[in-house]
Chains A and B, each alone.
Chain A
Amino acid sequence: MSDDASAARGPVEPPTPRHEGARTATVVPPSLDQLRAEAMEWGRKPRRRGTLYVTEHMVRAMRAYGWTIIINALGQPILYLLGLAVGLAALIQAPIDDRGQEVPYLVFVAPALLMTAAIAVASEEFTYPVMSGFKWRRYFYGFNASPIASPQIAGGVIGGAAARMGVTEVIYYLFIWIFFAALYPSQTNPATAWLMIPIGMLAGLSFGIPLMAYAASIEDDKGQFALVQRFIFMPMFLFSGTFYPLTNLPLWLQWIGWISPLWHASELGRAVTYGDLSSPLVWINVLYLLALIVGGYLVARRVFTNRLAK
């Protein structure tokens, strides 16, 4: 690029003004048919793999706050499990009665803690990066100027968040596994307990994807995410049968659990850890989480498409 005559003029001198008849095209332009065929060829890969490309970008961007992610993923299980195992569990000597089945307190609470960790990641990754992409840094518009289509951008955000959730849950599960193996080997079922990891993914996505649809619809940041944290995430954490069976709550508060993805995911987590997998309730839990994911995605896709096509 620098070996032509204009390099000798120095980089700051403008090109000479040119007026009509002075076109300098030295290259024979290809025909329209060739250009069309070329575009069709170039469009093929991004159409197929665009979501993956966006996922790759989101994961790369996470490296900027990679340490926070790792420390969070390691610190949370250590603090919660130790605190509850050594502290609260010592206080709650009596086993928990979960629908007639007696389990130690830590065994009862650990699956729900893993689900909560996944949802906590979701409440970060599906909010601020989305707002940033549309408004603060506007990088979604940059993606959208490339062959990437709007639904692929939504898909890539999900992919990136899922990747971080996966890391968090695997680490969390390893800690849980250590505690279970050391303290309650006979009361837990390691053959199915690892299924907490994919269930945690369902938990995070079922909470996060509808949240992403909402985040994408926000034009101005007026602290909505802080409200979500305080008035959706926290009550859900407290009233979803996380620390005690949902049935301990009066009926007029139990509905919070029924609509809460955290409760459905925790129920599934308990079922694979010590419970009954043949119960039809398991299917209701799975279907409810899937419905939130699919419904949320359909709305999010529309919001992304409309907002980017303005």
Chain B
Amino acid sequence: MPAPVIDARNLVKAYTSKGKPDFLAVDGLSFEVAPGESFGLLGPNGAGKSTTMKMIGAVSTRTRGDLTILGLDPDQYGPEIRSRLGVVPQQDNLDGELNARENLFIYGRYFGLPAKVCHEKADELLGFAQLEDKAKAKVDQLSGGMKRRLTIARGLINDPRILLLDEPTTGLDPQARHVLWDRLFRLKERGTTLVLTTHYMDEAEQLCDRLIVVDKGRIMAEGTPASLIRQHSTREVLEVRFGSDRNQEVAGLLHGIGDRVEVLPDRILIYADDGEAALERITRQGLEPLTSLVRRSSLEDVFLRLTGRTLIE
């Protein structure tokens, strides 16, 4: 593996508030990200993903541990590191009083780019974000998906070496998400390193070469999406519903079917390498589920296995 562009060792972020013990938002994370890799942080809300992203973004200062980005320590070289990063924060922070094009232009100025270059880049990125016809529209008038695309475009104004995306598609409709994924995939093809947080499994599977599963500021597991699924789940999952008041009762009768049974409020998950066979055994017992579905295991199942919780609760 070539020298990592992000190298974190025992990274800790503690928040102190009077009269309370320190809250460790990030509690000893260690990971490396190789150049050109797309790396994901997966976890529920409050897991410490955004805090980690802010530390990688050379904005939030770490409490303890070692961190280098592009071979530089963010405590001393914040501006230098940030000059080569693109950042897409969880909450859009565009300037609503400027129009879409101005937001891109002025952001380019922050990197010391000459006005002429900023104008060219602004036009190019409006095309990238499919917002050419909204160039003169005030940001406040854009839809959520358009703002998100504009924020991502803004993050690319300096042709960053590393693009940090914090929950890039939260709040977007499916079509807008797919447009975004397509755009990110193209960046990856150009060699941009991507680091993203998400609590969407499909997104992590689509975009990440490798990811860490984070919960309560700690790493629960690390690997490629496929290897994580292989390690922590079965090949297939059978989902059956017996009605919310009967699920718990029926689950007691399912022992021995599949490797593992999880009861969720609305359905029962049966982990088995052959889902159809498991379903057959259930019906042979005389149990008639209201609905049944056999699917492949996903990262959602990995997460459920590792933390006992679903990602979106």
Residues of A within 8 A of B (CB): 1-2, 4, 6, 11-15, 17-20, 23-33, 35-36, 38-40, 42-47, 49-50, 53-54, 56-57, 60-61, 64, 137-149, 308-310
Do the beta carbons of B79 and A53 come within 8 Å of each other? no
CA distance A30 to B36 in the complex (A): 10
Q: Are B83 and A42 in contact (CB under 8 A)?
A: yes
For residue B181, CB closer than 8 A to chain A, the reply is: yes
Whether the Cβ atoms of B95 and A20 lie closer than 8 Å is no
Q: Residue B175 at the A interface, CB < 8 A?
A: yes
Closest chain B residue to A30 by CB distance?
Answer: B35
Nearest CB of chain B from residue A18's CB, rounded to whole Å:
8
User: Judging by beta carbons under 8 Å apart, are B80 and A42 in contact?
Assistant: yes
In the complex, A29 Cα to B111 Cα: how many Å? Answer: 22
Would you call B225 an interface residue if the criterion is a C-beta within 8 Å of the partner chain's C-beta atoms? yes
Other than A137-B94, A137-B96, give 12 A-B pairs with Cβ distance below 8 A.
Answer: A14-B178, A20-B226, A20-B227, A43-B80, A45-B111, A57-B106, A139-B93, A141-B59, A142-B94, A145-B59, A145-B85, A147-B82
The answer to whether A29 touches B191 (Cβ under 8 A) is: yes
Q: How far is the CB of A57 from chain B (nearest CB, A)?
A: 5
Name 11 A/B residue pairs within 8 A (Cβ), A-sorted: A6-B185, A11-B182, A15-B182, A23-B209, A42-B83, A43-B77, A46-B111, A60-B102, A145-B82, A146-B107, A310-B15
B98→A61 contact, CB < 8 A:
yes
Which residues of chain A have C-beta atoms less than 8 A from B61's C-beta? 309
Nearest to A37 among chain B residues (CB) is B71
Task: Tell me the bound Cα distance from A240 to B58 in angstroms.
Answer: 46
Contact A11:B130 (CB < 8 A) given known A29-B36, A147-B111: yes
Per the bound structure, the CA–CA distance linking A138 and B89 in Å amounts to 11
Least CB separation from A33: chain B residue:
B71
Known contacts A20-B227, A53-B109; is-contact A1 B83 (Cβ 8 Å): no
User: Is the CB–CB distance between B60 and A19 below 8 Å?
Assistant: no
The complex places the Cα of A24 from the Cα of B206 at a distance, in Å, of 13
Contact B57 A61, beta carbon cutoff 8 Å: no
Given the complex, which residues of B lie within 8 Å of A33, measured CB to CB? 71
> Across the A-B interface, how many residue pairs have beta carbons closer than 8 Å?
179
Chain B residues closer than 8 Å to A54, beta-carbon distance:
110
Partner of A148, one of B2, B79, B81, B87: B79
Partner of B225, one of A19, A25, A42: A19
- Are B72 and A137 interface neighbours, CB within 8 A? no
B112 within 8 A of A: yes
A142 and B93 in contact, given A24-B189, A46-B111 (Cβ under 8 angstroms): yes
In the assembled complex, which residues on chain B have CB atoms less than 8 Å from the CB atom of A310?
15, 60
Contacts of A15 in B (CB 8 A): 181-182, 185, 206
A50 CB → nearest B CB, Å: 7
Supposing A15-B182, A20-B224, A32-B3 touch, asked if A138 and B111 sit within 8 A by C-beta, the answer is no
Q: How far is the CB of A141 from chain B (nearest CB, A)?
A: 5
Given contacts A14-B182, A25-B36, contact A142 B107 (CB under 8 A): yes
A142 in contact with B188 given A6-B182, A14-B182, A43-B83 (CB within 8 Å)? no
CB < 8 Å: which of A1, A17, A32 contacts B206?
A17
With contact pairs A35-B71, A39-B81, A308-B59 given, residues A148 and B110 touching in the complex (Cβ less than 8 Å): yes
